[in-house]
Amino acid sequence: MNKSTKQAGAGSSGTSRRERTIDIVNKRLEKRYRNEKRFRLYGLLSIMASVAFLMFLLTSIVGNGYTAFLQTYIKLDVQLEQGMIDKENPGRSDFQGIIKQAIRAYYPEVNDRKERRELYALFSSGAAFQLRDAVLKDPALSGTTVSLWVLADDDVDMLMKGHIKRDVPESERRLNNRQLQWIGKLEAEKRIEKRFNTTFFTAGDSREPELAGIWGAVKGSFYTMLVTLALSFPIGIAAAVYLEEFAPKNLATDFIEVNINNLAAVPSIVFGLLGLAVFLNFFGMPRSTPLVGGIVLMLMTLPTIIIASRAALKAVPPSIREAALGVGSSKLQVVTSHVLPLALPGMLTGTIIGMAQALGETAPLLMIGMVAFIVDVPGGFTDPAAVMPVQIYLWADSPERAFVERTSAAIMVLLAFLISMNALAVVMRKRFERRW
């Protein structure tokens, strides 16, 4: 301001004074508008950067993982001769041997021991289990020839999906030229194809990528979340109700409030330390179980639930409380029959968001031993279990290429859960939010 008037004064000798001032102001204005534009651009750029990062992350995970939903199967004609299946106990027959025989029958030209081993390696060890299941389901198959689509080995699967390139030198490829030839024969006779990968959604963990699935982890996560929900929802809501409706304004209340915020700030790994030191080593609870995992995650989700619930309670206008008090209800009745029902949607929203956080948490669970390799699908709260993020972590550490795509696919499944939970929370907030 000062500068422009001074300059205007200096230049007033020659030209008309008013014009000069306007010129200067306009010039400055132009500059200021340019600044304004640049400023806006920075903000937009930073938002774009985060959106771009998110897009990059999601597309690379989806791009890596979508192929895992398909799995390569090979059609095998298995001759089940009468003597092969144990009559008394069909489940204990030598299915591995039968499968090998069927493979040999399809490739009669392969005789060398080493070559045979390479040939068998094209088929998953799960093929024998598939055959067993088929026979147990229908004992009449004995004595006939069964056309069975069996699981291909993960290397064959990777080849069919293009992750193993055919044109690289043989020494750098996981499948040698002979094996490629055998696969070529299958392809020519249309005996190899990709189908929807049901194993991925129904099996527990496995060392063999083609046999590994997320069902065990999903169930583990489910039990863990159940424990977390059962503990953190009532505790969180009770604490919020106390702090919002009953707490006197004194030091003790302040102390509680500060500590709730402190709890929110505790790094997640420290909750794991606590779980290890207290629940496992002190109370001797069973290791790697949904029970302990759920308790640890409960402590983590509490602050989220409490803070959201308090906001929901705050949003209920005082007039409702006063009206209820006015017709003679007690403080407790006011809360239970008027305030709580009105605040419940907001509290549920907070709970869902807290649960979503807990579902994605890994670090504290590593501390309490949920990182063990567990094949069986857990059946209860005290069975050793893996949860989905830990399963992802375990697979991410595995060297096989097939596990990379399965890891991505598991992340996609987990993200689908998380995003739908968050979306549900948003929808609920929109739906039940009341403006008073």
Site for other proteins in 395-424 (CB under 8 A): 396, 404, 407-408, 411, 414-415, 418-419, 422
Structure tokens at 281: 């080593």
Of residues 226 and 269, the one with the C-beta less far from other proteins: 269
**Exposure of 241 by Cβ count < 10 A (0-12 exposed, 13-18 middle, 19+ buried)?**
buried
Q: Give the strand order in the sheet containing 192-196.
A: 145-151, 70-79, 192-196
- Taking CB under 8 A as the criterion, the residue among 22, 105, 258, 416 binding other proteins is 258
Q: Residue 102: helix, strand or coil by DSSP?
A: helix
Residue pair 110/119 in contact by the 8 Å Cβ criterion: yes
CA distances from 6 to 1, 25, 193 (A): 9, 12, 84
Spatial distance between the Cα atoms of 307 and 240, rounded to a whole number of angstroms: 7
Q: Does 427 bind other proteins (CB under 8 A)?
A: no
Amino acid at 191: R
- Taking CB under 8 A as the criterion, the residue among 42, 88, 140, 250 binding other proteins is 42
5 Cβ neighbours under 8 A, 6+ residues apart? 21
Of residues 125 and 422, the one with the C-beta less far from other proteins: 422
Of residues 121 and 307, the one with the C-beta less far from other proteins: 307
Of residues 62 and 134, the one with the C-beta less far from other proteins: 62
- Taking CB under 8 A as the criterion, the residue among 131, 156, 367, 413 binding other proteins is 367
Spatial distance between the Cα atoms of 260 and 211, rounded to a whole number of angstroms: 44
Residue pair 223/296 in contact by the 8 Å Cβ criterion: no
Q: Does 268 bind other proteins (CB under 8 A)?
A: yes
Of residues 185 and 331, the one with the C-beta less far from other proteins: 331
Q: Does 340 bind other proteins (CB under 8 A)?
A: no
Of residues 108 and 326, the one with the C-beta less far from other proteins: 326
Q: How far is the CB of 347 from other proteins (least distance, A)?
A: 14
- Taking CB under 8 A as the criterion, the residue among 263, 307, 311, 320 binding other proteins is 263
Which range of residues in 52-60, 156-164, 174-182, 191-199 is near other proteins by CB under 8 A?
52-60
- Taking CB under 8 A as the criterion, the residue among 15, 30, 51, 77 binding other proteins is 51
Q: Does 128 bind other proteins (CB under 8 A)?
A: no
Of residues 125 and 398, the one with the C-beta less far from other proteins: 398
- Taking CB under 8 A as the criterion, the residue among 271, 346, 352, 377 binding other proteins is 271
- Taking CB under 8 A as the criterion, the residue among 292, 362, 370, 429 binding other proteins is 362
Q: Does 46 bind other proteins (CB under 8 A)?
A: yes
- The residue length of the chain stands at 436
Closest CA to 242 of 357, 351, 339: 339
Under rule CB under 8 A, which residues in 18-37 are in contact with other proteins? 32-33, 35-36
Q: How far is the CB of 195 from other proteins (least distance, A)?
A: 26
Under rule CB under 8 A, which residues in 205-224 are in contact with other proteins? none
Q: Does 393 bind other proteins (CB under 8 A)?
A: yes
346 Cβ neighbours under 8 A, 6+ residues apart? 308, 309, 311, 312, 313, 315, 429, 432, 433
Hunting for tokens 């953190």 — which residue is that? 232
Mutual orientation of helices 401-432 and 17-65 as an angle, nearest 10°? 120
Residue pair 167/93 in contact by the 8 Å Cβ criterion: no
Binding mask 294-313 for other proteins (x = CB under 8 A): -----x--x---x-------
How many amino acids of this chain bind other proteins (CB under 8 A)?
Answer: 88
Region at 9 (left for phi over 0; alpha for psi -120 to 50; beta for the rest)? alpha
3-state secondary structure 109-132: CCCCHHHHHHHHCCECCHHHHHHH
Which range of residues in 38-46, 87-95, 162-170, 203-211 is near other proteins by CB under 8 A?
38-46
Residue pair 216/386 in contact by the 8 Å Cβ criterion: yes
Of residues 13 and 82, the one with the C-beta less far from other proteins: 13
Structure tokens at 352: 């869902």
Which range of residues in 147-155, 160-168, 213-221, 391-399 is near other proteins by CB under 8 A?
391-399
Q: Does 238 bind other proteins (CB under 8 A)?
A: yes
- Taking CB under 8 A as the criterion, the residue among 105, 230, 269, 427 binding other proteins is 269
Q: Does 386 bind other proteins (CB under 8 A)?
A: no
CA distances from 69 to 65, 130, 193, 210 (A): 8, 19, 13, 11
Q: Does 235 bind other proteins (CB under 8 A)?
A: yes
